[in-house]
Amino acid sequence: MVSAASAGIAVLVAAGAVLYDAVAKHHAPAGPLVMGACRGGNLLLGVSLVPGLVGSRWFLAVLPLAYIAAITAVSRGEVHGGSRWTGRLALVLLGGVVLGVLALELLPAFSVLRSAPFLMLFAAQVGPPFVRAARHPRPASIRSAVRAGVLALISLDAALAAGFGGWLHGVVVLLLWPLSVFLARRFAVT
């Protein structure tokens, strides 16, 4: 165990996963928020490897929270179709995530220039399928958006890694993409 902060975050993520599975996934506003909070907690668990950094970088959890909440909200229509309203809300959240990453330029430790190629890849991966799902919230377009969203999490993580650590860090994270695509063909992503 790295620290008490790491242990506390891990316990909260585990509790959030249980809460989601037991109760929250059946409730429209709670399910996406709890699932997003779990992903935000996951990010903070990684941040907690550097002692004391969680206190000054806690806000980074908002990015995956919003992103995963968008995917989870849209995913509710995978079987019977969704609503245009949910699709539009997801697009607003995705736009907020992109703007949030760009706003990290305000931090001395972050470079949008290093992050930009990965962020553009992320936007290209999620934008078109989520726009289609918002326009035509049929099960097939929603499944396509959810699959793209889950796989594009790697590009978002690569954008953050590159912005804070440099292009090489982003490339290393992005190297998980081929494995993810391979696994997505073998197992249901949605």
Q: Is the pLDDT of residue 113 over 70?
A: yes
pLDDT band at 25 (very low <50, low <70, confident <90, very high): confident
Buried b (16+ CB within 10 A) or exposed e, 100-137: ebbebeeeeebbbebbebbbebbbebbbebbbbbbeeb
Q: How would you classify residue 52: left for phi > 0, otherwise alpha for psi between -120 and 50, otherwise beta? A: left
Residue 157 has a pLDDT of 96
Q: Is the pLDDT of residue 29 over 90?
A: no
H helix runs in 50-174, sequence order? 53-57, 62-75, 84-103, 112-135, 139-165, 167-174
pLDDT tens per residue, range 160-190: 999 999 999 999 999 999 999 999 888 887 6
Q: Where are the domains of the chain?
A: 1-75, 108-190
Distance in angstroms (rounded) separating the CA atoms of residues 26 and 117: 37
